[in-house]
Amino acid sequence: MARVDGEFKNRVYAIVAQIPQGRLMTYGQIAGLAGAAWAAWEVGQIAHTGPEDLPWQRVVNKQGGLAVGYPGGGREHHRSILEAEGYIVSDDFKVNVKELLWMPSQE
């Protein structure tokens, strides 16, 4: 993660904390909003070690794919958490990212 500045992680945390139930964001979207559009991979790494009280389950890849390395059991665990919140997850571990994508207010 040395490719991003020291405050990048805190900006990622602040963005993820805002994702409302019923909506999703992508790793790349969060990276861009945090100031490093090229750093989607770094957002994924932060997600694996970040504070457990943040809604990391609401972060997916740009195709709506769930995380293979999701803590506690990979895609199956990621699916179970999302389904418990009411999301529909396909058999190939994807959600409808186009329908569910959320953007924080720019106000």
* pLDDT, tens digit, 9 for 90 and up, residues 16-43: 999 999 999 999 999 999 999 999 999 9
Domain that holds residue 81: 8-99
- Does 18 reside within a domain? yes
Mean pLDDT of the chain: 93
* 47 class by beta-carbon count within 10 Å (0-12 exposed, 13-18 middle, 19+ buried): buried
CATH code at position 50: 1.10.10.10
**Domains contained in the chain, number:** 1
Q: CA-to-CA distance for 105 and 107, rounded, in angstroms? A: 5
Sequence letter at residue 9: K
Place of tokens 């919140």: 85
pLDDT at 37: 94
β-partners of residue 24 are: 101
- Does 106 reside within a domain? no
- Does 107 reside within a domain? no
- Does 1 reside within a domain? no
- Does 56 reside within a domain? yes
pLDDT at 106: 54
Kindly give the interhelix angle for 40-49 and 8-17, rounded to the nearest 10 degrees.
70
